[in-house]
Structure 1
C-alpha cells in the first residue's frame, strides 16, 4: 500500500497538477497575510487561515485522486492485493499532499502573518487544527473525485458547494451537523480556542471519519 501511495504522489508531481493547488495556496496566503496581525491576535489569524485553506486542500486531494486513469487504478488494485488497499493508498497519498500544503500554510502564517509566536498551548492547538484541516480537505476532495462524481464540471461544483454548505451550516445552531469551521473561527476570535478545542476537535474528527467511511464504502461497491 505504501509503495502505491508513493507512486501516486510521484505521478501527481510529474503531471504538474501539484502546481495548480500550490499556486492557489500561495496566492491565498499572500492575500491573507499581506500584513502582520497585531500582537494578541495570533490564534484568530492562524485559525482563519486554517479554515480558508480547506477548499485548496480539497482541490489538491481531488486532483491527486484523479491523476491516475481508471484502467490504471484497476490494475493498481490487482497489484496491491485488493480494492481496499488501492483505496487506502489513494487516501494516504491525498492526505500526504494536503498535509504538505497545510504545513506550508502554517509556516507562512507563523513567519509572515503574526507579530509574535503564540503561547505553547495555543500553538499546539493550532498545529492540531491544521492536521484536522488537512483531513477535512482530503475528505472533501475524495468525495468529489472522479471515482465518485464522473463529470468534471459537476465534481468542481460539488466541491465548492460542499465547502460553502459547510460554512453555511456551521454558522447556525446546527453547526454539529457538519465540520464546525465557523465555530473554530469564533472560538479563536473570542480567545477561547483552548477551552473549546476538545469538543470542536472531536466533532471535526467525527465528521471527517464519517466522510471517509462513506467514500470507502462507495468505492468498494462501485469499483
Structure 2
C-alpha cells in the first residue's frame, strides 16, 4: 500500500496536477493576509474555511489522475480496501502540504501578530483537511464517472459546507464544523468547545468516507 501511495503522489506531481492547487493556495493566502496583520487564531480560522474547497479540489485531482485501467489493476493486486485507503492517504498527504504552506507563509509575509493561537489554528486546518479529503473523494471520477458531475459535487459540497455552518443554521450537523471552528477561534475558544467540534469533524468525515467506500464497492 505504501508503494501505491508513493506511485499516486509521483504521478500527481509529474503530471503537473499539483500546480493548480499550489497556485490556489498562494492566491487564498495572499488575499487573506494582504490587508494587514492579524491574530493567529482568528486568521487561521478563516484560512481553514477558505482553503477547504482548495484541498477538496486537490484531492479530486489526485484521485482523478490514475487511469481507470490502472486503478482496476491496483484493486486486483492489493484489494479494494487497500486501494481506497492508499488513495485517501495520498490525498491527505497533499492536503497536509497545503496546510503547512497556509500556516508558514503568513509568517514570511509578516501577516501574523504573534504565536498565540497557533495550536488552535493548526487544529482548524486539520479539521478542514479531513473533511475536504472526504468531499474530494466523493467528487472524484471513480465515483461520479463524469467531469460535470464531479464538479457539481465539489462546488455544491463546498457551498453547503459554508451555508449550513452559518450561525443560526437549522441543520449544522450536516456540514463539517468549518464555520463553527472559525467563530470559536475568533472568540478564543476553550478546550471543551474544540473537543466537541473535533467529534463532529471526525463523525462527518467518517460518514463521508464510508459513503465513498460504498460507491467504490458498487462501481469498481
Q: In the aligned structure 2, how far is the partner of 1:65 from the partner of 1:184?
A: 28
Structure 1 CA distance, aligned partners of 2:3 and 2:49? Answer: 31
Which blocks of at least 5 consecutive residues in structure 2 are unaligned?
A: none
TM-score (norm 2): 0.93
Structure 1 residue 51: Cα displacement: 1.1
Please report the TM-score for the alignment, with normalisation by the length of structure 1.
Answer: 0.92
Distance in 2 of aligned mates of 1:110 and 1:183: 25
Q: Deviations over 1:113-172 (max 9, x none)?
A: 211111xxx322222222222111111100000011122122112101111011111111
Q: Which runs of 5+ in 1 are unaligned?
A: none
Aligned residue runs from structure 1 range 82-161, under 5 A: 82-112=79-109, 113-118=111-116, 122-161=117-156
- The number of equivalent residue pairs is 217
- Structure 2 CA distance for aligned equivalents of residues 111 and 174 of structure 1: 39
CA distance in structure 2 between the aligned counterparts of 1:192 and 1:131, rounded to whole angstroms: 16
Would you say the 8 A contact 1:125–1:194 is kept in 2? Answer: no
In the other structure, the counterpart of 1:42 is: 40
Q: Do the aligned partners of 2:55 and 2:98 also contact (CA within 8 Å) in 1?
A: yes
* Post-superposition offset of 1:213: 1.1
